[in-house]
Amino acid sequence: MRAVCLLAFNPGPYTGQGNNTYLITGREPLLVDAGVGDARHLDAIAEALGGARLARVAVTHNHSDHIKGIEAIAARWPEAALLKKPLPERDVKYAVRWTPIGERDEVPAGDSRLRVVETPGHAPDHLCLFDEARRVLFAGDLLMRRGTVVIPPTHGGSLAQYLRSLEKVLALLPSRVLPAHGPAFDEAEEVIHRYLAHRLERQAQIVRALEEGDGDLDAILSRVYVGLRPEMAGAARETILAHLIKLEEEGRAARDDQGRWRLM
């Protein structure tokens, strides 16, 4: 299996140098993620195809940096099948015909097949694609080699689901990870354990803040994230809220009518 990494030309504080999309070449070319519709991205896909038809596009989840380009791709390659796990209330925004995929489905990719692994948490419809023969994971936004993944509960994110998804992928024993942001990496087990440890540490910080009487979300934010860059404040606030909701689901925290949090 040959996977060509193609940047989506959307650099930014949340996307780094821009999203990675992956074109798997061969008999049935598959593009993993649709980017944002930049003409340079579409031209790069065409060049990598080398005159072959694009058979399929698989979208890992319905966040704009992964799905926004789907209409432009469908217009340029109208015969390509467009695959994703359904999220009807958001997918309807795009005027394309989706082919639904889900857990343990197999997707033709180049000269092989990829298994669908549902990994909700970062988004309710998030999935990864796994090449079982080579143990290569197309990770979407589940993992990055550097930094951490934002869990946005105001947009359907769930920290509890995300932690279960990490454990699920850990059990697959991937030998190589191709993420949507940042470089590919081989040390999947090390990175996942680091992610799990980081979340436990962040939770302990939030619990300490609650123990000491910081019940306002913004007060907890300023205590936990010292020296935070202003452009990252929104993501940090979502992270704090995700941890608080997880504690609430576990019966360990509650919020009052004014939105203040306390330990149970």
Mean pLDDT by 10 residues, the chain (264 residues): 96 90 98 98 98 98 98 98 96 96 98 98 98 98 93 97 98 98 97 96 96 91 88 92 97 93 94
User: What is the model's pLDDT at position 231?
Assistant: 86
What kind and span of H or E run contains 21? Answer: strand 20-25
6 falls within a domain: yes
45 lies in the same domain as 154? yes
How many Å apart are CA 20 and CA 4, to the nearest integer? 10
User: What is the model's pLDDT at position 30?
Assistant: 98
192 falls within a domain: no
How many Å apart are CA 190 and CA 170, to the nearest integer? 10
152 lies in the same domain as 181? yes
13 falls within a domain: yes
Among 157, 186, 215, residue at a domain's last position: 186
87 lies in the same domain as 31? yes
User: What is the model's pLDDT at position 147?
Assistant: 87
123 lies in the same domain as 216? no
143 lies in the same domain as 243? no
63 falls within a domain: yes
191 falls within a domain: no
104 falls within a domain: yes
The total number of structural domains in the chain stands at 2
37 lies in the same domain as 153? yes
- DSSP letters spanning 60-76: S-S-HHHHTTHHHHHHH
Among 186, 216, 241, residue at a domain's last position: 186
Are 162 and 27 in contact, with CB atoms under 8 Å apart? no
Helices (H) and strands (E) in the chain, counts: 8, 13
- Locate 216 and state its tokens: 């306002």
- DSSP letters spanning 248-260: HHTTSEEE-TTS-
CATH number of the domain that residue 92 is part of? 3.60.15.10
139 falls within a domain: yes
222 lies in the same domain as 145? no
168 lies in the same domain as 215? no
173 lies in the same domain as 220? no
How many Å apart are CA 167 and CA 171, to the nearest integer? 6
User: What is the model's pLDDT at position 191?
Assistant: 97
Cβ neighbours for 166, distance < 8 A, ≥ 6 positions apart: 121, 142, 143, 192, 195, 196
Domain that includes residue 152, residue range: 2-186
172 lies in the same domain as 222? no
180 lies in the same domain as 210? no
User: What is the model's pLDDT at position 1?
Assistant: 87
Nearest to residue 22, comparing CAs of 7, 36, 4? 4
Nearest to residue 28, comparing CAs of 59, 47, 61, 1? 1
CATH number of the domain that residue 242 is part of? 1.10.10.10
Query: Angle at the Cα of 14 (from 59 to 163), degrees rounded to 5?
Result: 65
User: What is the model's pLDDT at position 14?
Assistant: 79
pTM above 0.75, yes or no: yes
135 lies in the same domain as 64? yes
Among 136, 151, 186, residue at a domain's last position: 186
237 falls within a domain: yes
